[in-house]
Amino acid sequence: MLVNVANDVLAELCRGEGKDYISQIIFDDKHSNDDLAVFLAPNLFVANFIKTRYSELFENAFEAKTGKKPSIQIETIKAQKTSSNIAQIIQNKAGKTLLNLSYNFDNFIVGDSNQEAFVLTKMVADEPGKKFNPIFIYGSTGLGKTHLLHSIGNEAIKKGLNVIYVTAEQFLNDFIVNVRNESMPKFKEKYRKCDVLLIDDVQFLASSGIKAQEEFFYTFNELKEKHAQIALTSDKAPKFLKGFEERLVSRFESGVLVTINPPELDTKIRIIKAKCKFDEVVLSDEIIDYIATHMGDNIREIEGAILSINAYSRVTSTEKNITLDFVKIVLKDLIKTEKENIKLEDITNTVSKELNIKVSEIKLPSKNKKIVEARRICIYLAKNYTQNSMPGIASYFSLKDHSAVCHNLKKMNELLNSDNNFKIKVEEIKNKLAKNSE
Ligand code: ADP
Ligand code: MG
């Protein structure tokens, strides 16, 4: 069936370049046929981006599976509404830059997890180059780093400043092309002339080699000297970035560092409600709670979930209201662990077995490093995979109050972001936990 082929194609392309965009679209079975594959995107920005950059990739992937190359069409779910809300290519003295207008401070939902990042980026946007230079925002994927970076850019554009937004990958490609074409003066002029330089996912520069990092270093110094604003995002704190020259790391740390943590439940719920309003999807509180408690913390995935529910309900459902059962079916691949089945005892038992520490030891505070780590993993799993409240978790693990739980979650987040081996260990425990509680 075409739908199976299309979903295989999507799954495949979601692992490669452009996955952040491709993961946002879904296949529209109803309007597709052997010669035409239609996909639905959340907005025109994503639709156009995929259309221009990845159409051929899609065609080839279909051809590899069916022997036939269909035309690829990417539509927006609600074309008329997004038209005023799309990315725009902004021509300024610094050259052309792509800013997504729908990433702004007004529609960024603020909670404890991201308040500091929000406040600081806003202060930077109010007075670029004056305070906090550079600002370095780090945290896991899908928590709003790019959104805040674009928000700074959109504000700066309003002030008439020359803004460049690039991903570290684009910066690197630009560098390589200019070296090859012997046009480095052009490159230097472009990046050193701007008032605001926004570089997203700077961790990608790690593997870029000395020359590109050197160029970045000099660009950085020159911009800072003339009080141009630099804002950077990364998946890790600078000190955990591997493959960077020491002097660059110290430049990253020379302004302000701020992290975004995974959203707490109420923030997640507010984000879901805001997305539903924007997407014009009506979901009951019960469904919103279900999504908030069952999906992970990656907001991009949550947006994808809402998008799928919306699109599937338009394409397949004859019912007027979206029901929880319908949502469960649509999201079944996104939600791997059924939280209701997991109890705190399952977590302590699994962690005890995997890390070889007694359950009784895990449940009580300790100074022993291994026990501290085991407790932290348990607390993290309890928060993410059970329905227990923060005070409930605090009392189970003999912690003073819910802020002690928060402290542990923050530490866990830092470790997961900085230590890949630790991350893998936690993933393994998660898998065991899911199996044990089936
Ligand atoms: P990151 O760069 O950290 O991987 P993004 O900034 O790309 O994450 O965010 C992923 C998606 O989630 C974006 O569409 C963004 O608009 C949305 N998002 C993240 N955090 C928030 C928030 N606090 N309020 C509203 N939308 C958010
Ligand atoms: Mg990003």
* pLDDT value for 152: 97
* pLDDT value for 95: 54
- Average pLDDT on 253-273 reads 93
CA 67 – ligand 1 centroid, Å: 38
Enter the DSSP assignment of 33: B
CA 396 – ligand 2 centroid, Å: 36
pLDDT, one tens digit per residue, over 161-220 is 999 999 898 899 889 999 999 999 999 999 998 999 999 999 998 878 788 999 999 999
- pLDDT of 379 > 90? The answer is yes
CA-114 nearest atom, ligand 1: 23
- Average pLDDT on 368-381 reads 95
* pLDDT value for 3: 84
SS3 category, 332: coil
* pLDDT value for 318: 61
* pLDDT value for 115: 96
pLDDT, one tens digit per residue, over 271-309 is 999 999 988 889 999 999 999 988 888 998 898 888 888
* pLDDT value for 78: 59
**Highest-confidence segment of 38-47, 85-94, 252-261:** 252-261
> Closest Cα to residue 291, out of 171, 159, 319, 279?
279
Q: What angle do CA 159, 128, 184 make, to 5 degrees?
A: 95
Instruction: Give, using CA atoms, the residue closest to atom 7 of ligand 1.
Output: 146
> How far, in Å, CA of 86 to CA of 150, rounded?
12
* pLDDT value for 375: 97
pLDDT, one tens digit per residue, over 125-157 is 999 999 899 999 999 999 999 999 999 999 999
* Confidence category of residue 253, pLDDT binned at 50, 70, 90: very high
- Structural tokens at position 341: 């089945």
- pLDDT of 87 > 50? The answer is no
- Residue 379, CB-side half-sphere exposure with 13 Å CA sphere: 33
> Closest Cα to residue 35, out of 58, 83, 68?
68
CA-143 nearest atom, ligand 1: 3
Q: What angle do CA 424, 425, 430 make, to 5 degrees?
A: 95
Alpha helical stretches, state H, 284-401: 285-294, 299-315, 324-330, 344-355, 359-362, 369-385, 390-396
